Every structure is written in C-alpha cells, then in structure tokens.
Structure 1
Amino acid sequence: MRSRSEKVITVLQAGRALAALAIVAYHSAIATRDYAQALPVGAFYAFERGAFGVDFFFVLSGFIILHAHQDDPGGAAAAGAYARKRLMRIYVPYWPAALAMIGLYLVLPQVSGSQRSWSLVTSLTLLPTGAPPALAAAWTLVHEMMFYALFLLSYVVRGFAWIVAAWVGLILAGIGLGLETAYAAPTWLSLFAPINAEFVAGMLAARAVSRLSPAWALPALAVGLSGLVAFFALGTDPAGPARMGFGVAVAFLVAGAVWLERAGSLAAPGWLIRLGDASYAIYLVHNPVASLGARIAGRFEMLRPWPVSLALCILLGVACGLAYHLAFERPALAFLRRRVRGRARPDGFMTRNR
C-alpha cells in the first residue's frame, strides 16, 4: 500500500484554491448586486461562471476518494475506518458554521434577503429532505454524502464498478425521463441528479492516472481545454444536464495535471497549496461573510461602487475562511486524528475499549 505522502497531489490542492476563489467571487458578485450596486452585465456574467467551481470540487472528490482508497482492503473494518474518516472530515468543520446560521435564522428570520426556507434536519444531518440547509452552500455537501455512502459499498460488495455503471445509467435515464432533481433542495431523487456524474468522472480520471503513463498528460489537457471552450462557446444552460460536459472536461484536466506533476513538469506554488488546504473552510463561511460585507458596503458611499464592494466581499470571505481553518478546522481535525490513532491497535484496526 502506498504511503500517505505518495497520495498527496499538490496540483490538486492548488486546484482547490482556485475553485474556492471562483465560488467566493461568484457569491460576492451576487451579494454586491443585491446590497450595494449592480454589476455591468458582462462583469456579472464573468463572475457568475465561478459557480462551476462546485463542479471542480465534485470531480476532485471522485478523484481523491478513489485515489486514496483504491488500495484499501475490503471488509467491515476497512469500511468503518473509511466512514469515520469521511464523517469527521465533513462534519467537524461543518457543524459550527451550520449551527451559527441556524441560530441566526432563529433569532433574526428576516436576515435573509430572499426570506428563504430551510430544513433543520438537513442542516444538522445533511440528509436530503426536500428543503435546503440553513447554510446555503451546504447543498453540495448533501451530494457529497450521497457519493460517500455509495462508495462505502466498494468495501462490502463485489463488482462495485457495475454499481457505478448502473448509477450512471440511472442518471442518464432520469435525464431522458425529464426527472426533476433540484440542486439547492435535494431529495432522495437527487442521487440521480446529472451533477453526480461528475463524481464518476473524477473516479475514472483517478483510475486512468493509476494505470496509464504520464505520456498521456498533454493529450488529456488538450481534450479538457477543448471541452471547456466548447462548453462555454455553446452557451450551455448551467442548470441543465449538459453541465456534465463541464465536469468531464475538468476530469481530463485533472488527470493531465496530475500526470505532469508526476513527470516533474508541473509544480504548484506553496501559497496556493496552503490556500487549497483552507478551501473547505473558505467554502463554508464565505457566503454569509460576503453578504455581510456587501450590506456594510451598501451603507457607505465610498464602499458602494461595485468594484470596491466586490473586492471587499472577496477579501472578507477568503480572510474569514483562512482564519476559521487556522483557528478551528486544522487544530480540531488534528486533535481528533490523534485520538483516533491513539485508539488504534498496531495492525491498524480500532479497539472497542477506551
């Protein structure tokens, strides 16, 4: 089995950072438009493309999960270790941010500019109830949890590849039947939402990287870039099933970038890697912080022009995310991982006592 250091891919951490920045810019543009000053149509359209950072994260999740766990042994013990790791990674940083939003909405229900409804159950558990979570960006985490649950089957069921193929088939069948699968308010039918195919694209990229040589890097990058150009040139509906095409193009880019890193031809700058380490924390806290920044900007003439408000929102979103990562996410996860390792026997399995 490969060591953990061999599984860390720095270009993907840099990619996380860029995707997080794109999403922050997207939500900052919306907040600026709603609370400070409307952006020019062209500028808003450009920042609106930042929503596709979510697609990158879905592809990346599929890649990393398979890359990190494809050598795991099967069985209940390995499945339990995988589940503990995933649940800890998602929920520990998520719950404080979610509880803060729940408290805010309970005390000041009018604080949402759109008077949005939300589900307490979904907010606390990330289970799909048909209503969105209080933390708006957490709708993506509902899909993440669906994918993690599906991947759990790989530890206990033979022929996992056929299960994944059937999943993709059901997604395509749902598209053909016109199945409505709302992203922001997931139900159990959202397991078959087209955007979930991007997890599979990421897994296929990870499998290609593990089996093919870095000589495929440039062809993969060429296909990925061509796919992105075609996607945007065709003006594809970002809410429609054709969005899967963006995810497939990103999967080619991810594979190409990883191959280049392995060949020693690509290196990510350290500051971007560190920003990528904080990308989940940035994602969790940026939206309410950006909204607050835009509301403040809207009250002061010197901050109201959209370039100033937008810059303020982006800066606040990234800075608060970094602070949350350094002050809570990183130390909390490090503490829990030490506790988990302390309870493990030398053979790696968990003891029942202690």
Structure 2
Amino acid sequence: MTIKIENKELVNIQYLRAIAALMVVWVHAREQFPWVRGQFPSGVGANGVDLFFVISGFIMVYTTHNKSISPLAFMVRRLERIAPLYWLATLLIVLVASVVPLILKSTVLSSSHIFASLAFVPMLSPAFPDKYWPLLIPGWTLNYEMAFYAIFSITLFVKGLYRIFLLSFVLLSLVVAGLFFNWQGVLGFYADAIILIFLAGAILGYFYVKGRLKKNALVGIFFVLLGVGLWIVTQDLDVGHRAIGAGIPATLVVLGFCCMPTLFPDKLTWLARLGDASFSIYLSHIFILAGLRTLLNRIGIVIAENSLGLTYMVLAIAICAIFGFFVYQWIEKPLSKIRFKRTGMRVYG
C-alpha cells in the first residue's frame, strides 16, 4: 500500500493505487451521513482495500525478483515506508480525540489500545468491541500488510517459483490451521482467508516478471470489466468469504491493468501522482471527512432535503485527494527519509 513505483512499466499499477484509495474515500464519505448512505447504498468502494492487497502481493514479487535481499533488510525497509506516517496519524488521533472529541465522536482512548495500534498488533477496539480495529480504523489493513511482509520475508531465502510455492504453503497452511482448530482472537485474525488475496497478487507478480502476461488492450479490458461486474453482482449475493466475493474480482482487475498497455501516459499524470500519494490519502481522509461532517452539521446543510448528496460526495473525494497529495508532498516524503538501523543489502521498492 505504501510502495512507491518508479518504473514506468508499471504506470497502470500507479493508476490503480489511486483508484483504490479513492474507492475507500468514497465508501467512508457516504457513511458520514445516514441520508447519503441511503442515496448511495452500494458498498463496492470498500473493495479498494482488496485492490491494495493484490497490488501489495504483486509488487513484493516484482521488486524482489532476481535481487539478493536479507529478510531483516526487507522488513526494515517496509517499516520505513509504513511506520512514520502511520504513527504520526495515530498520535494525531489521540490529540484530536483529547482536545476536540466532538470531531472524532466514536473514538475511545485506551493506553493499551494506543500501544497495540502503534505496534501493528490487532486488538479489540474499546469503541467497537467486536472489531479488531486500531485507533486509526483504516489501519486494520496495515496489520495484515505487516503480517504478510513478515511471512514474505521468510521466502526471500529461495527464488523464483520456489518462493511462490513456499509463500503459498505458509499462507494456505495458516488459513487451514485456523479453520481446523477454530482459532479465535488474534490467531483467528491472522489466519483469516483474507491473507490469500496477497497470495493472488504474488502469483500475478510471478507471471508478470516471467513475461507470461502479454500486453493486449482487449484482453485487459475484458478482465477489468469482469472483475468490476463480479464486484457489483456479489454485493447482493452470499458468496462466502470476502476473499471470494472481493478478492477474486480485485485480482481480475489487477490482471486486466497488467495486460493493458500504458493508459494515456501523457494525459493521466495527475492520476499517477495520486497513486504516489495513495497511502497519504488512505490515512488522512478520515480526518478530512470528520472535519467536513462537523462543518456541514454546524452550518445546517441537510443533504437529504436538497439533493446535494452527489455534490457532497464529489466534493469530499476531491478535498480528500488534494489534501492527501499535500500530506504526501509535505509530510510523507520528508518522513520517508527516516532510516532505521538496518543490516544487509539495500532494499528496492
């Protein structure tokens, strides 16, 4: 989710990262007001998370292909990418919830929960007792990201197809063990089948680096439309686990973008820049949406009574995207210069 992609070969993936972030903003924007949710009942935007998971698996394979990287160096690099901005955003939650609790009215502060959030350890939320959500709620995905990175780092001892086999064995064994022993709590969190979405991305990444995914616009469009269509259809169907209803369509969408030639490279540079800023957008949009909700309530705009729902959604997404871009430029990029003590060769990606 926080991977910076500088290779022009993967510009389409940059576009997709931006789209994934804006999908998440969309679904959270509609949840700020019950009447807006009524106007836009579809929760397809939540599948932006699944896109991020597939992309993470894909990029981990792509950036480590034919490179000698120690597991420790790999994990340090991942922390350098994720931790500084996430820690800052989490501490900002603590500050805002302490000083202006009206803005983050659903936030409940607990020292143990704060510590667990900063440590990327899943813990039941004091505000939502049935959810393993960190203080900054979108950070639940980062707990899975860090777990995947830790498992992937183990596979760096082997290369090529053996890496994919080992990764598949470990992730599938974890899920099967969770089902067989009926793991609950933190173990159940990590053994959830959602981690197989990362595996799907890793397999795609392997086929890509081996040149098995040929560029063909029609084939790419077909897979993208198929994935989006499945997202829409599965919204109202009980297809079982999220890994099936959301993960498979997300994999098809990423596959489609991989197969398509670079889309409008001279006209979509702004979308690629939003792809750069996708992590900042993902972490900061909660603050913007909370502030916008508070402002609209203060000035008495009732969206349900004057058909401003679509206007509000477009405005909310635009503001979150612009603000997230500036967070990327002014905060995330400077923070990315922080370097933890590391051992081993330089890590790419």
**TM-score exceeds 0.5:** yes
Shift of 1:102: 1.7
- SS of residue in 2 equivalent to 1:45: coil
Q: Which amino acid aligns with 1:100?
A: L
Contact 1:227 1:245 in 2 (8 A): no
Aligned mates of 2:258, 2:227 — CA distance in 1: 18
Alpha-carbon separation, structure 1, partners of 2:12 and 2:215: 17
Residue equivalent to 1:55:
50
Does the alignment pair 1:91 with 2:91?
no
2:87 partner letter: W
Q: SS of 1:147's equivalent?
A: helix
How far the C-alpha of 1:277 sits from its partner, in A, is: 0.5
Partner of 2:244: 244
RMSD of aligned Cα (Å): 3.3
**Deviations 1:155-177 (Å, cap 9, x if unpaired)?**
24685423423422442564577
Identity of aligned residues (%): 26
C-alpha contact (below 8 Å) 1:209/1:255 kept by paired residues:
no
Partners of 1:130 and 1:157 lie apart in 2 by 36
Tell me which residue corresponds to 1:120: 114
1:260/1:266 contact within 8 Å kept? no
Gaps of 5+ in 2: 126-132
Q: Given residue 336 of structure 1, which amino acid in structure 2 is its aligned partner?
A: I
1:80-106 Cα shifts (integer Å, max 9, x gaps): 321221110001221111110022234
- Kindly provide the amino acid, as one letter, of the partner of residue 26 in structure 1: V
Q: Closer, same or farther in 2 for the Cα pair 1:126/1:8, shift >3 Å? A: farther
State whether residues 230 and 245 of structure 2, in contact with CA within 8 Å, keep that contact through their aligned partners in structure 1. no
TM-score (norm 2): 0.80
Larger relative contact order (Cα-Cα within 8 Å, sequence gap ≥ 6): 2
Pairing 1:1-354 to 2, within 5 Å after superposition: 6=7, 9-33=10-34, 38-39=35-36, 41=38, 43-46=39-42, 48-73=43-68, 78-108=70-100, 111-114=103-106, 116=108, 119-131=113-125, 132-156=133-157, 160=163, 161-171=165-175, 174=178, 187-211=186-210, 212-214=212-214, 218-219=218-219, 221-223=221-223, 225-235=225-235, 240-261=240-261, 267=265, 269-302=268-301, 304=303, 305-333=308-336, 335-336=337-338, 348=345
Report the alpha carbon displacement of residue 240 of structure 1 after superposing the two structures with TM.
5.0
Structure 1, unpaired ranges of 5+: 182-186
Q: Are the counterparts in 1 of residues 219 and 259 from structure 2 also a CA contact under 8 Å?
A: no
Q: Would you say the 8 A contact 1:257–1:266 is kept in 2?
A: no
Give distance in 1, aligned partners of 2:147 and 2:264.
33
TM-score, length basis structure 1: 0.79
Whole-angstrom CA distance in 1 between matches of 2:103 and 2:58: 38
Q: d(CA) in 2 for partners of 1:330 and 1:86?
A: 15
Cα shift at 1:179:
5.8
Give 2:195's aligned amino acid: N
CA distance in 1, matches of 2:254, 2:181: 31
Q: What amino acid sits opposite 1:171 in the alignment?
A: V
Equivalent residue letter for 2:22: L
Cα deviation, 1:207-248, whole Å, max 9, x if unaligned, reads 111221515775465345334423432445689514434322
**Counterpart amino acid of 2:40?**
F
> Which whole-Å CA distance do the structure 2 matches of 1:101 and 1:72 have between them?
38
Partner SS for 1:21:
helix
Deviation string for 1:262-297 (max 9, x for gaps)? xx6764711100011111001001012101101211
> Cα distance, 1:316 vs. partner?
2.9
- Confirm or deny: 8 A CA contact 1:98 1:124 kept in the other structure: yes
Higher share in helix: 1
In the alignment, the residues of structure 1 paired with residue 6 and residue 106 of structure 2 have an alpha-carbon distance, to the nearest angstrom, of 45
Matches of 1:195 and 1:121 in 2, distance apart?
A: 24
Shift of the 176–117 alpha-carbon distance from structure 1 to 2, 3 Å rule, reads: farther
How many correspondences in the alignment? Answer: 325
